[in-house]
Amino acid sequence: MKIVVDDKIPYIRDALARITPCVVYKRGTEISAADVRDADALIVRTRTRCDERLLAGSSVRFIATATIGFDHIDTDYLARAGIAWANCPGCNAGSVAQYVRSALLLLARDCGLRLHGGTIGVVGCGHVGSRVCAVARELGLRVLVCDPPLGSPGFVGMDAIEREADVITFHVPLTDGGTYATRHLADAAFFGRLARRPFILNTSRGPVVDNAALKAALAEGRVRQAVIDTWENEPLIDRELLGRVYIGTPHIAGYSADGKVNADNMAIDALCRFFGLPNPGRIVPPPLPPGFTYTDDPLQLYNPLCDSRRLKADPALFEELRGNYPVRREEAFVR
């Protein structure tokens, strides 16, 4: 059995070696049709476009993406080709919530955000958005939730968020068609309707926020500040926008070691179920440094300004910073 794997997926190698000796690791952007022609399975991230160009004529029967999002997978083609696939819903929800919590604390410290008594609009309330809602409430924020596909009682429309929110944070998948398309959900018209000069956070998918429109809104004062982790045209991001935002990071909000291990385990579980293989055992995160003591300060565990400074110092390193990310642990796993 041959498996082709993105070489930036951490912690997974020992487990896969217990499944098969034939595992090929390659940079996600460099996985080619020749690499997968005789492969049985792929384990990828968002940087590998899984479509007819890559897969036609191959022996691939199963693809796992170690990510929540799957807009890099041509699901229509896979259905026609009889190729099964799986993603990892919720795998990094805790990690993204950690990122947002730290960002909110920093915005309160440095940019004048009022937490107690302020209002946050959470756009998208799936695995990640629901965790962000809990974090926001813990910090004392009033929470407005907009998620029309879920249609839950108590949710509001975008008009309420545009009118009332001091912070707006996006946690939606990237979709292009249908009633609830999210590409450029935050466009020039959206920024033109804002009533309160809010802070904008995007940790979902880059094109959910029109980057040119956001840059203009920052310049015009329609938006007070922004925290951007996901960008249009990654890794060739808008450097002028990067220079304007308070925090700009290289698509790593979900990159805690705990979130990555969750994704590894979910991908391997799905692979083993599909092929009827025994599971090689659970992967665990790396241990904390010797003598580490958590002091109940969330910024002690993770301060996104550190990632932001590295990216702003050299935006050309976007992929390197993302692919060689340092170990970061979540609060729930260090107490």
**Tens digits of residue pLDDT in 201-236:** 999 999 999 999 999 999 999 999 999 999 999 999
Tens digits of residue pLDDT in 83-96? 999 999 999 999 99
Tens digits of residue pLDDT in 179-202? 999 999 999 999 999 999 999 999
CA angle 65, 254, 205 (to 5 degrees): 75
266-276: burial string, b at 16+ Cβ within 10 Å, e else: bbbebbeebbe
Catalytic residues: 205, 234, 251
- Give the Cα separation of 217 and 208 in Å (integer): 15
User: Residue 146: is its pLDDT beyond 80?
Assistant: yes
3-state secondary structure the chain: CEEEEECCCCCCHHHHHCCCCEEEEECHHHCCHHHHCCCCEEEECCCCCECHHHHCCCCCCEEEECCCCCCCECHHHHHHHCCEEECCCCCCHHHHHHHHHHHHHHHHHHCCCCCCCCEEEEECCCHHHHHHHHHHHHCCCEEEEECCCCCCCCCCCHHHHHHHCCEEEECCCCCCCCCCCCCCCECHHHHHHCCCCCEEEECCCHHHECHHHHHHHHHHCCCCEEEECCCCCCCCCCHHHHHHCCEECCCCCCCCHHHHHHHHHHHHHHHHHHHCCCCCCCCCCCCCCCCCCCCCCHHHHCCHHHHHHHHHHCHHHHHHHHHCCCCCCCHHHCC
- Give the Cα separation of 302 and 228 in Å (integer): 16
| Residue 23 confidence (pLDDT) | 98
User: Residue 335: is its pLDDT beyond 80?
Assistant: no
CA angle 97, 101, 104 (to 5 degrees): 135
Q: What is the C-alpha radius of gyration for the chain, rounded to an integer number of angstroms? A: 20
> What's the Cα-to-Cα distance from 142 to each of 71, 115, 157, 262, rounded to whole Å?
32, 9, 16, 30
Tell which residue, 153, 192, 187, has the closest CA to residue 170. 187
User: Residue 288: is its pLDDT beyond 90?
Assistant: no
Non-local CB neighbours of 81 within 8 Å, separated by 6+ positions: 52, 55, 56
Tens digits of residue pLDDT in 56-82? 999 999 999 999 999 999 999 999 999
Residue range 274-289: mean pLDDT, rounded = 93
User: Residue 293: is its pLDDT beyond 90?
Assistant: no
Residue range 10-25: mean pLDDT, rounded = 97
Single-letter amino acid, residue 164: E
Mean pLDDT of the chain: 96
Q: What are phi and psi of 103, to 5 degrees?
A: -65, -40
- Give the Cα separation of 55 and 39 in Å (integer): 10
- Give the Cα separation of 334 and 311 in Å (integer): 27
CA angle 299, 109, 125 (to 5 degrees): 70
Q: How many CB atoms lie within 10 A of CB 92?
A: 27
Residue range 131-146: mean pLDDT, rounded = 98
- Give the Cα separation of 106 and 49 in Å (integer): 35
Tens digits of residue pLDDT in 27-56? 999 999 999 999 999 999 999 999 999 999
Q: What is the pTM of this model?
A: 0.93
CA of residue 153 relative to chain centroid, distance:
27
